[in-house]
Amino acid sequence: MIRLRSFAPRVALTIAVVVLVTSFLGAGWGWLRAQDALRQQLDLVLAAEAEGLVRDYETYGLRGLSEVAEIYSRRQGPLFVLLQTSDGRPISGRLPSAPAALRGFATLRQSGDSAPLRALGAMLPGGANLIVASDLSSVDRAAYALAWTPPLAGALAALVALGLGFLLANGLERRLAGVSDAARAVMAGDLTRRLPESGRGDEFDRLSATINAMLARIETLVAEVRQVTDDVAHDLRSPLSRLRQRLEAALARARDPAADGETLEGALAELDQILSTFAALLRIARTEAGAGREGFASLDLSALAAEVVDIYVPVAEDSGRRIEPSIAPGQRVSGSAPLLRQALANLLDNALNHGAGTIQVSLRPGAVLEVSDQGPGIPPEEREKVMRRFYRLDRSRATPGTGLGLSLVAAVARLHGGALTLREAVSGRGLSAVLELPQAGPAEF
Amino acid sequence: MRILLIEDDVATADYVAKGLAEEGQVVDVARNGKDGLFLALNEPFDVIVTDRMLPGPDGLTILRALRASGISTPVLVLTALGEVDRKVEGLEAGADDYLAKPFAYAELRARIRALARRPAPQAELRELSVGDLHMDLLRRTVRRGARNIELLPTEFRLLEYMMRHPGEVLTRTMVLEKVWDFSFDPTTNVVDVHVSRLRRKLEAGGDPPMIRTVRGAGYVLSSPTPDQG
């Protein structure tokens, strides 16, 4: 939980720090660039000023120029003008720490705390020297001011990022807490609980939807397992109770070899019924777990169906029924012959035990196997249920069988990637079981 | 007949060994795979019955070792309930038969006898005869004495199986497995229906019965003798 709690603030903090550091680095670079640009600008100003003074000299002579220099000096402005003789002695004007006979641009350091000066020196046509200079401190101040703007903005941005980050963190934490609560509820056994969805359709909602679908699947599976457990308990308890009562009664009465023998035989028959139920359950479980798939081979479903039908024709005849086969030749599927044989046998057993009238067995192109009879059929709302383990229609309770036949057929169908569908027979009477299997390509020779 | 039983469950081993001994068979019991393999490799047996799951080498390992050593003694593998789909695995390892536990003792006895009397493979076999019943395997015809018997393909296969095991008890499960490849028990009386039809065809014309029902076990096909008539 600590990690979840600190995740979003950590992101916000990281973003803030990155913004801050980047803006400070930018400030350093910006300061250098601004200073450079402002100094170039200053040089242009100095050059223009010097040019004007040279023109004044040409118009008013040395005397006029020295008066102008005096005016500049009195002004105390950022601009200094100094007039020197050809050997460097000052004529007029004022310039702290003036070099003699300066030619071109130079930066003059000054003693003490005073800012350095930028100076431009030139020789006048008469031989005298002119120096124009300006204080660099104003330029540096401007550069400084310019350079500090981005980091200040950056710091502000970092603060905003931090604030937004915390807001986001709160939202995130609330949503995660919802997910976490739901997950804990599911863990505690409430399988109906689902993760909250905000309805915004964002990544969180998509994740929640996926997990909810998974939870729904788990709920169904657990319900099925519960149902099966209940069914197993119920369907095995009855025969086991009968068995127990029978043995108990036999034990209580006087020993009589004939009666005891009969009791034991009955007990064995009962036990065999229980064992065959167990065997059927285990086989369904193994089939549903995918056992038998490794034995899949391309097989002739038409031949397999014809063989099973041949075996069942006399069984039907003996009970006054009839099987009408119509089997399309050459239908091949990839599958397990023993399981498919049992699936068809189960459908025929079912039609014989629970149906009535003529049984039609058809194998149509596309590997669609259909067994239908003219019996009472199964009401639509019960059709799904009879494919579940142990589900038996009330009227079938007295007929032989484990109640697992159709479950196994459905499991075999699923194992083969097909499906078992129960519907009303085309004749409008009776049940039709349709086993659709994926058709295999032509056999390879 | 000398039988080796490799079974780690004491109750099952004792029960089976006792039953076989009462019929006059000589039974050696091994309680684990190691002893079982040692006995199987060093002593002559007519039939070996082994559990699939064993401490030490399991049933299939023993089976493969035997076959690799050139020992072709018939082997019956016992398997846990519901694992019939693993039959193929056992048959590939060289098992001659497969039986799921828990089994009826009669079932085990019938299968052991069928294995012990298994005739050597006869490639040239073209006719089977039991008493006055003759089956031509090439022409697919059956006659009893001078009378021709018309059989459906399913009936022919059933009779062929029974004629290959004359005088032996054949259980319903054995018929389902060996004749039709049904590894399950149908809820309809498939085997009984076929056997009774076959019986009617064999006895048509007043011939004495050849197929006898053994209560609680199965069917026996044998030559009719006056005292059985």
The CATH number given to whatever domain includes residue A399 is 3.30.565.10
Identify whether residues A279 and A308 lie together within a single domain: no
Task: Give the nearest partner residue to A349 out of B102, B187, B194, using CB atoms.
Answer: B187
Identify whether residues A63 and A120 lie together within a single domain: yes
Cβ within 8 Å, pair B82-A282: yes
Highest mean pLDDT, choosing among A127-136, A196-205, B108-117: B108-117
Res. A443 pLDDT band, cuts 50 70 90: very low
Which chain A residues in 4-63 lie under 8 Å from chain B, judged by CB atoms?
none
Cβ within 8 Å, pair B182-A341: yes
Residue A172 lies in a domain: no
Identify whether residues A89 and A215 lie together within a single domain: no
**What is d(CA A409, CA A371) in angstroms, rounded to the nearest whole number?**
12
Beta-carbon contacts of residue B104 (< 8 Å; ≥ 6 apart): A268, A272, B171, B216, B217
Q: Which residue has the higher pLDDT, A116 or A444?
A: A116
* pLDDT for residue A270: 85
Res. A254 pLDDT band, cuts 50 70 90: confident
Cβ within 8 Å, pair B188-A352: yes
Res. A71 pLDDT band, cuts 50 70 90: confident
Contacts of B200 in chain A (CB under 8 A): none
Q: Are A90 and A83 in contact (CB under 8 A)?
A: yes
Contacts of B157 in chain A (CB under 8 A): none
Structure-block tokens of residue A332:
């091949």
Give SS3 for B165. coil
Cβ within 8 Å, pair B82-A278: yes
**What is d(CA A13, CA A297) in angstroms, rounded to the nearest whole number?**
62
The Cβ of residue A66 has, within 10 Å, a number of other Cβ atoms equal to: 18
The CATH number given to whatever domain includes residue A99 is 3.30.450.20
pLDDT tens readout for residues A361-403: 999 998 999 999 998 888 888 887 777 766 666 656 556 666 7
Cβ within 8 Å, pair A286-B188: no
Give SS3 for B95. coil
Q: Which of B81, B83, B85, B199 to mutate to test the interface with A (most CBs of A within 10 A)?
A: B85
Identify whether residues A400 and A423 lie together within a single domain: yes
Q: Which residue has the higher pLDDT, B123 or B92?
A: B92
Task: Give the nearest partner residue to B82 out of A279, A336, A401, using CB atoms.
Answer: A279
pLDDT tens readout for residues A292-339: 777 788 999 999 999 999 999 999 999 999 999 999 999 999 998 889
Task: Give the nearest partner residue to B81 out of A282, A311, A342, using CB atoms.
Answer: A282
Last residue of a domain, one of A288, A311, A331: A288
Res. A445 pLDDT band, cuts 50 70 90: very low
Cβ within 8 Å, pair B193-A348: no
CB pairs under 8 A between A and B: 81
Which chain A residues in 78-117 lie under 8 Å from chain B, judged by CB atoms?
none
Which chain A residues in 387-416 lie under 8 Å from chain B, judged by CB atoms?
400-402, 405
**What is d(CA A132, CA B211) in angstroms, rounded to the nearest whole number?**
139
Identify whether residues A130 and A23 lie together within a single domain: yes
Identify whether residues A426 and A313 lie together within a single domain: yes
Task: Give the nearest partner residue to A338 out of B102, B183, B190, using CB atoms.
Answer: B183
* Residue A2 scores a pLDDT above 70: no
Cβ within 8 Å, pair A315-B189: yes
Residue A188 lies in a domain: no
Residue A445 lies in a domain: no
Instruction: Report the range of poorest mean pLDDT among A162-166, A189-193, A325-329.
Output: A162-166
Query: Average pLDDT for residues A55-72, to the nearest whole number?
Result: 84
Task: Give the nearest partner residue to A400 out of B184, B187, B190, using CB atoms.
Answer: B187
Q: Which fold has domain B2-116?
A: Rossmann fold (3.40.50)
Q: What is the mean pLDDT of chain A?
A: 83
**What is d(CA A342, CA B50) in angstroms, rounded to the nearest whole number?**
27
Query: Average pLDDT for residues B38-64, to the nearest whole number?
Result: 92
Identify whether residues A40 and A117 lie together within a single domain: yes
- A393 min Cα distance to partner chain B (Å): 17
Identify whether residues A311 and A375 lie together within a single domain: yes
Task: Give the nearest partner residue to A286 out of B82, B153, B186, using CB atoms.
Answer: B82
> Domain locations in chain B?
2-116, 127-221
Last residue of a domain, one of A288, A320, A351: A288
Identify whether residues A276 and A299 lie together within a single domain: no
Rounded-to-10 torsion of CA A32, A38, A42, A45: 160
Residue A409 lies in a domain: yes
- B146 min Cα distance to partner chain A (Å): 27
Rounded to two decimals, what is the model's pTM? 0.66
Q: Is A224 on the interface with B (CB under 8 A)?
A: no
User: Which CATH number is associated with domain B127-221?
Assistant: 1.10.10.10
**What is d(CA B8, CA B207) in angstroms, rounded to the nearest whole number?**
49
Q: Are A155 and A23 in contact (CB under 8 A)?
A: yes
pLDDT tens readout for residues B90-118: 777 888 998 888 888 889 999 999 898 76
Res. B176 pLDDT band, cuts 50 70 90: very high
Q: List the beta bridge partners of residue A279.
A: none
Q: Which of A275, A294, A340 to mutate to test the interface with B (most CBs of B within 10 A)?
A: A275
Query: Average pLDDT for residues B14-33, to the nearest whole number?
Result: 92
Rounded-to-10 torsion of CA B13, B17, B20, B25: 130
* pLDDT for residue A165: 79
For residue B155, what is the nearest residue in chain A, using CA coordinates?
Answer: A311
Q: Are B155 and B224 in contact (CB under 8 A)?
A: no
Q: Looking at this predicted complex, what is its ipTM?
A: 0.86
For residue B85, what is the nearest residue in chain A, using CA coordinates?
Answer: A292
Structure-block tokens of residue A133:
């200079």
* Residue B76 scores a pLDDT above 80: yes
Q: Is A311 on the interface with B (CB under 8 A)?
A: yes
Identify whether residues A208 and A279 lie together within a single domain: yes
How many angstroms separate the Cα of B79 from the Cα of each of A174, A339, B51, B85? 56, 18, 6, 10
DSSP secondary structure letters along A30-43? HHHHHHHHHHHHHH
Residue A229 lies in a domain: yes
Cβ within 8 Å, pair B188-A353: yes
Identify whether residues A240 and A111 lie together within a single domain: no
Identify whether residues A315 and A413 lie together within a single domain: yes
- What share of chain A has pLDDT > 90, as a percent? 19
Cβ within 8 Å, pair A283-B84: yes
**What is d(CA B173, CA B166) in angstroms, rounded to the nearest whole number?**
17
Instruction: State CA A276 to chain mean position distance.
Output: 46
- B156 min Cα distance to partner chain A (Å): 12
The CATH number given to whatever domain includes residue A226 is 1.10.287
Residue A181 lies in a domain: no
Residue A216 lies in a domain: yes
**What is d(CA A144, CA A10) in angstroms, rounded to the nearest whole number?**
33
Q: Edge-to-edge strands of the sheet including B147-149? A: B127-130, B133-136, B141-144, B147-149
DSSP secondary structure letters along A45-99? HHHHHHHHHHHHHHHHHHHHHHHHHHHHHHHT-SEEEEEE-TTS-EEEE--TTPP
Cβ within 8 Å, pair A352-B185: no
DSSP secondary structure letters along A289-326? TTTTGGG-EEEEHHHHHHHHHHHHHHHHHHTT--EEEE
Domain range spanning residue A379? 293-436
In chain A, how many domains are there?
3
Quote the Cα angle for A152-A153-A156, to 5°. Answer: 90
Task: Give the nearest partner residue to B181 out of A286, A318, A341, using CB atoms.
Answer: A341
The Cβ of residue A189 has, within 10 Å, a number of other Cβ atoms equal to: 8
Residue A388 lies in a domain: yes
- A174 min Cα distance to partner chain B (Å): 51
